[in-house]
Amino acid sequence: MSKMLELKNIDTYYGNIQALYNVSLHINHGEIITLIGGNGAGKSTTLMTICGVLSPRNGSVVYEELDITGMKAEKVVSRGICQVPEGRLIFPELSISENLDMGAFLRKDKDGIKHDRNYAYELFPILYERRKQMGGNLSGGEQQMLAIARALMARPRLLLLDEPSMGLAPLIVKQIFEIITKINKESGTTIFLVEQNANLALKIGHRGYVMENGKIVMTDTCDTLLANEDVKRAYLGL
Amino acid sequence: MNSRGQAAACPLIVYGNRIGTLMEYFLELFFGGLTRGSIYALIALGYTMVYGIIELINFAHGEIYMIGAFTGLIVAGVLGALGFPGFAILVLAVIVAVIYSAAYGFTIEKIAYKPLRGAPRLSPLISAIGMSIFLQNYVMLAQTSDFLPFPSLIPEFKIPGLTGIITSSEVVIVAVTVVVCVALTLFIKYGKLGKAMRATAQNRKMAQLVGISVNTVISATFVIGSSLAAVGGVLIASHIGQINYYIGFIAGIKAFTAAVLGGIGSIPGAMLGALILGLTEAFATGYVSSDYEDVFAFALLVLILIFRPAGIMGKQPTQKV
């Protein structure tokens, strides 16, 4: 397996407050990588740094052998990295179908967009039923589905998911995680999954990273992490 | 007794320099109000669009309108001297004014607001007021502080049945505004950039994450808003017949009021607010006294804001649970 994305010694700051300390990690083509950690560990900051919304003060982000450190967010998206952010961030006053259009904002291939829209509706039939409704009127679970569908509309090669389970009923979470696995298997999309629900995330992931206070403190295959005593105690509540 | 009966059946009143029925007077006020409302709408759209995207009240927007009017005057002067026909002058004056004002709007955003994007909200507001004062004084020094006569660019034509009640320039102003408002609404609803603008207004961070260049969207907002103000500037200057460096201030405040009345940030709100404000002013002037024009306008604003604090079509703040 070849490296798709690599973070090398990243330090990211909010103003003068350092949020990430010397973070290094890599993602191979076709993998599902999970990043687990508590509140404020720096998981979302890591994703925002990859996406170009935040620029790291030190270190570099290399994607497909190209240094994308400090690249503008819209350029990063055009290279195939797409994020489903924490809290979903649905456009509340755009209809569901318009939300999907926005996902494909940078694409010009009309037929491809149409195809992907149908694929998204196939994955999430509820979105098709409600396609004319405003995004803000959806339930939390439906919004999460819409957020994932919108990201897929960009036809990403690397999909970043930030806490897709947040605030959702267990049954919906299960459904969403099944779809994440399906996306990875069917279209070979590489997935970087950030989760507080460590148990679920480690079950669908291939390799995992554990983050604490802005630092990567542990990395291994997900199976090994699931069996690790420290991980069990801190994140699995066992 | 007899004369009273006659008066009730066919009341004739004297207004301006003519005599007409109450109905004719009402219609004249109504069309005057529509015209005012149209101009307010053209300016208010710029306020509301900019506010919708970056939550800034662009106090320099009235000056953009004034610069549009001045550009129109210069173009009209040059083309008039070259012997162009009236209608061609009007079209060219509007086009050049739009280009000029758009360039000013674009540049103002880059110079005065963009560097302050991460700053506390008060900073760009002060910067906007500073820009407004700067532009007024710049035009005063570069041109003059006196009122300048503005040629009547809108050709005269007769409106069957309404002669003397509505003038041709009022018809043109209202018609142009309607066309512009419909075009803008369609653009915002279906255009790719229009959708990107709505998305950016609703969630700037997510807009970035789907690949929208937020800087481009903000610039486009300023360019569109400024263009609309320039159209309004040339048309109203030609209607009223004179301009000076200060016209942007009053028109700007009124249009801003209209935007707040309709719900700042809402495009249909700005159109509706402008219409209501224009009509209120016209009827207050006509039926009460022109001294009370502003009193009625702002009393209406206060009244509406008491019952709908976010404006008529503004989003009423909802409690998050």
What does the pLDDT average to over B161-190?
Answer: 92
Q: How confident is the model at residue B318 (pLDDT cuts 50, 70, 90)?
A: low
pLDDT at residue B7 tops 50? no
What does the pLDDT average to over B47-55?
Answer: 95
**In chain B, whose CA is at the least distance from the CA of A89?**
B206
What is the rounded average pLDDT for all residues in chain B?
91
Give domain status of residue A135, yes or no: no
Give domain status of residue A29, yes or no: yes
The helix or strand, by DSSP H or E, that contains position A160, with its residue range, turns out to be strand A158-162
Give domain status of residue A137, yes or no: no
Q: Which of chain A's residues have a Cβ under 8 Å away from the Cβ of B210? A: 77, 82, 102-103, 105-106, 150, 154
- Bigger pLDDT: A197 vs B93: B93
* Euclidean distance between CA atoms A181 and A178, whole angstroms: 5
Give domain status of residue A184, yes or no: yes
Model pLDDT for residues A203-215, shown as the tens digit of each residue: 999 999 999 999 9
Q: Do B209 and A83 touch (CB under 8 A)?
A: yes
The b-or-e profile of A16-48 (16+ CB within 10 A means b, else e) is eeebbeebebbbeebbbbbbbbeeebbbbbbbb
Q: Do A89 and B212 touch (CB under 8 A)?
A: no
Give domain status of residue A108, yes or no: no
A154 touches chain B (CB under 8 A): yes
Q: What percent of chain B has pLDDT over 70?
A: 93
Place of tokens 């690397």: A158
DSSP assignment letter at B292: G
Per-residue model confidence (pLDDT) at position B5: 42
Per-residue model confidence (pLDDT) at position A215: 96
* Euclidean distance between CA atoms A134 and B202, whole angstroms: 12
Cα–Cα distances in angstroms (integers) from residue B111 to residues B63, B127, B128, in the given order = 16, 10, 11
Beta-carbon contacts of B90 under 8 Å, excluding residues fewer than 6 positions away, are: B153, B154, B155, B234, B238
Residue B221 has which token pair? 């907002």
**In chain A, whose CA is at the least distance from the CA of B199?**
A91
Give domain status of residue A51, yes or no: yes
Per-residue model confidence (pLDDT) at position A104: 95
The whole-angstrom distance between B210's CA and the closest CA on chain A is 5
Nearest to A144, CA basis, from A159, A125, A164: A164
Q: Do A72 and B213 touch (CB under 8 A)?
A: yes
> To the nearest 5 percent, what fractions of chain B are helix, strand and coil?
75, 5, 20
Cα–Cα distances in angstroms (integers) from residue B19 to residues A1, B12, B34, B108, B172, in the given order = 91, 7, 22, 49, 25
A227 touches chain B (CB under 8 A): no
A86 touches chain B (CB under 8 A): no
* Euclidean distance between CA atoms B167 and B28, whole angstroms: 9
Q: How many domains does chain A have?
A: 1
The whole-angstrom distance between B313's CA and the closest CA on chain A is 14
The whole-angstrom distance between A111's CA and the closest CA on chain B is 17
A91 touches chain B (CB under 8 A): yes
What are chain B's domains?
36-307 (1.10.3470)
Answer for the pair A219, A207: CB distance below 8 angstroms, yes or no: yes
A106 touches chain B (CB under 8 A): yes
What does the pLDDT average to over B215-244?
Answer: 96
pLDDT at residue B174 tops 90? yes
- Which of A48, A50, A72, A74 has the most B C-beta neighbours within 10 Å, making it the best mutation to test the interface with B? A74
Q: Which of chain B's residues have a Cβ under 8 Å away from the Cβ of A74? A: 208, 211-213
Residues in chain A: 238
Q: How confident is the model at residue B8 (pLDDT cuts 50, 70, 90)?
A: very low
Size of interface A-B (CB pairs under 8 A): 60
Residue B114 has which token pair? 């963009």
Model pLDDT for residues A95-134, shown as the tens digit of each residue: 999 999 999 999 999 999 999 999 999 999 999 999 999 9
Q: Do B211 and A53 touch (CB under 8 A)?
A: no
**Chain B: residues touching A (Cβ < 8 Å):** 192, 195-196, 198-199, 202-203, 205-213
What does the pLDDT average to over B124-138?
Answer: 96
A186 touches chain B (CB under 8 A): no
Q: Do A74 and B206 touch (CB under 8 A)?
A: no
Read off the CATH number of the domain in which A77 is found.
Answer: 3.40.50.300
Instruction: Provide the residue range defining the domain that includes A61.
Output: 3-90+157-236
Window from A213-227, B10-24, B36-50, B197-211 with minimum mean pLDDT: B10-24
The whole-angstrom distance between B211's CA and the closest CA on chain A is 4
Place of tokens 């279906």: B190
A38 touches chain B (CB under 8 A): no
The helix or strand, by DSSP H or E, that contains position B171, with its residue range, turns out to be helix B168-190
Residues in chain B: 321
Q: What percent of chain B has pLDDT over 90?
A: 76
Q: How confident is the model at residue B107 (pLDDT cuts 50, 70, 90)?
A: very high
**In chain B, whose CA is at the least distance from the CA of A107?**
B211
Per-residue model confidence (pLDDT) at position B6: 44
The whole-angstrom distance between B192's CA and the closest CA on chain A is 8
- Which of A91, A107, A143, A158 has the most B C-beta neighbours within 10 Å, making it the best mutation to test the interface with B? A91
Give domain status of residue A139, yes or no: no
Q: Do B210 and A77 touch (CB under 8 A)?
A: yes
- Bigger pLDDT: A125 vs B155: A125
- Which of B192, B195, B209, B313 has the most A C-beta neighbours within 10 Å, making it the best mutation to test the interface with A? B209
Give domain status of residue A127, yes or no: no
Per-residue model confidence (pLDDT) at position B70: 97
pLDDT at residue B9 tops 80? no
Residue B222 has which token pair? 């300023």
A115 touches chain B (CB under 8 A): no
Q: What angle do the packed helices B22-54 and B61-81 form, to 10 degrees?
A: 120
Q: Which of A74, A83, A93 sits opposite B213 (nearest CB)?
A: A74
Answer for the pair B265, B316: CB distance below 8 angstroms, yes or no: no
Per-residue model confidence (pLDDT) at position B18: 65
Per-residue model confidence (pLDDT) at position A234: 87
Answer for the pair A95, A133: CB distance below 8 angstroms, yes or no: yes
Residue A175 has which token pair? 């459904």
Q: Consecutive sets of 10 residues in chain A, 238 residues long: mean pLDDT of each? A: 92 95 96 93 95 94 94 93 93 94 94 94 95 93 95 95 92 93 93 92 95 95 93 84
Q: Which of B199, B203, B210 sits opposite A154 (nearest CB)?
A: B210
